[in-house]
Amino acid sequence: MKNAVKTVRRGPLRVAPVAAASAPLEVGVPQLLDALPQQIAVIDRAGVIRYVNRAWRKYGKGGGGCLRGRGAGDNYLHVCERSVAAGCAEGEDFAAAIRAVLQGELDEFSLEYFCPAGAGQHWFIGHVSRFEGGGAVISHEEVTRLKQAEADANRLAHFDPLTGLPNRLLMSDRLAQALAQAEREAWQLAVLFLDLDRFKVINDNLGHAAGDQLLKGVTERLRGCVRRSDTVARLGGDEFVVVLVPVRQPRDISRIARKILAALTAPFVLGGEEVYTSASIGVAIFPGDGTDAGVLLHNADLAMYRAKERGRNVFQYFTAEMNLQAVRRLGIETALRRALSSGGLVLHFQEQIDLASGRVCAVEALLRVRNGGRGLLQPRDFLEVAEETGLIVPIGQWVMRLASRRLRSWQKLYGEPLRLAINLSPREFRSPKLVPDLARCLAVNRLDPAQIEIEITEKLLVKDSPEDRERLHRLKELGVSIAIDDFGTGFSSIHRLKQLPIDRLKITHTVVQAVPTDKDARVIIHTIVDVAHNLGLKVVAEGVNTPEQHELLRQLGCDTIQGWHCILPVPEKELLALLGKLAVKAG
């Protein structure tokens, strides 16, 4: 009785007795039964139908169907047995159950069954109840819509509605089953975690309909790259998982991964336009990289991120080192969140020296993070994690508020203006809150906007997007000065510099520190200084650590220097002690 659901009752059933199976029913009962939607028949002890209601007759007009006869006079037991040939596999079981009811072995019985009746496929629940005086009542109720609703709910619960692929829930179940089989059979198994490259760009520029069309196209290509024994699933967004089982040879994993990469680099046609994408794939293998589904997925995910770091459109096997790095990054994220909420952020400051006068002309605010009893985290330790998690935005807001307040207090102490430089990461720079937050800080602390200098890296300007140029102009409209940090990494053009509202170029420390021994470095700095001065820009050399570098940069025409040769980054208390001894000159 495959796919059938049975209900059996053996307790006493109290119903109104009938004098005999062949006796006429009481007046009014046929009308009552005709009003019911269920298909109802009454049979005698031999199984012969003695009465059928209107619903039964209506259904049987076309010659009857599964488990239904034409009407009174048919032997219903024979009808059930013949229905097997008509496609109702449960017919014989239903007949056997009716005999058990008629013989007093059961009081009632229910069976859910499938019937290919008419033009479609239908599901019914058949029910048999015994009369105490002999005979039985048969009823059938169609539950096709209920079964369809159950199937729809099951499909929504286990399959991605867009691509039809197994979702995370079903994939996890299949992976668990595959792992159990792999362990029994001593197989290897591979989990491939796949993330599309540039999907957000395509989705944002061509629209969500195009993005959905791309995901469907990717699904078809993935299915064409794997075997029937493998599973392709969509986790959500542009993330997919492929489970390869069994893996006979390790080289099979690389072969399928390369096949997937090649399939996805071919153009997709979306809305009549050719669109290109690629994928980054992380690979984790059972049992070496994990023995349960959660660990394998996590490790494949880590490997996928490493693939993206390598330049995308590649696949990367998981290594134990990745897990150590992930644990370290999680520790840093935890330290950042704790510091942000409990006062663990610290500002240190580093002076900039005007080479013409030898005086302090500016101070750069540099962030540090307390890490429990393990000292202070430096920017190189936490900036990448802060940027990726988005924590850099609230952290940057904290820096801007505190630095602005400190600058105001310094003015009250020393009476002369001092420029304060604040670094912005790409995510901070592109935050819609940046300009309003900065304007508020200037107003609350009654600062001259020219005293604030915003530093952005040269790499941030690589895209040269209209949105980035507009943000720079909005910052400039506030009256602040703008500096390009890490200048000299080779991305900016002279033409672009001329178009941007900037005031200073800060030459990267890697070029500055090579000045004493590298002629090319000196040529580069001399060229930067000439171009900057011709454009009306000032030049700051950062990373100046020796007297020799100091002197050579002065000869090359730099305006300002910053580095260990001047002063290490120090807490505010030490900075104030130095400022108290030095005359401050506006830059």
Write a three-state SS string for 515-531. Answer: CCCCHHHHHHHHHHHHH
3-class DSSP assignment, residue 328: helix
Is-contact 335 369, C-beta < 8 A? yes
Reported residue count of the chain is 587
From first to last of its 587 residues, the chain has per-residue pLDDT tens of 444 445 544 444 444 444 444 555 444 777 788 888 888 888 898 889 888 888 888 876 644 456 665 677 888 888 888 877 777 778 888 888 888 888 888 888 888 887 766 556 778 888 999 887 788 998 888 888 888 888 788 888 889 999 999 999 999 999 999 999 999 998 999 999 999 998 888 888 888 899 999 999 999 999 999 999 999 999 989 999 999 999 988 889 999 999 999 999 999 998 888 999 999 999 999 998 999 999 999 999 999 999 998 888 999 999 888 777 777 888 899 999 999 998 999 999 999 999 998 888 899 999 999 987 778 999 998 998 999 889 999 999 999 999 999 998 887 777 667 899 999 999 999 999 999 999 999 999 999 999 999 999 888 877 778 888 899 999 999 999 999 998 876 555 666 778 889 999 999 888 998 888 889 889 989 999 999 999 999 999 999 999 999 999 999 999 999 988 778 899 998 888 887 765 444 44
Is-contact 72 50, C-beta < 8 A? yes
Residue 198 identity: R
We find that the CATH architecture of domain 342-581 is Alpha-Beta Barrel (3.20)
Superfamily holding 6-148: PAS domain (3.30.450.20)
Domain ranges of the chain: 6-148, 161-318, 342-581
CA 564 remoteness from chain centre: 43
Residue 566 identity: C
To the question of domain 161-318 being in CATH 3.30.70.270, the answer is yes
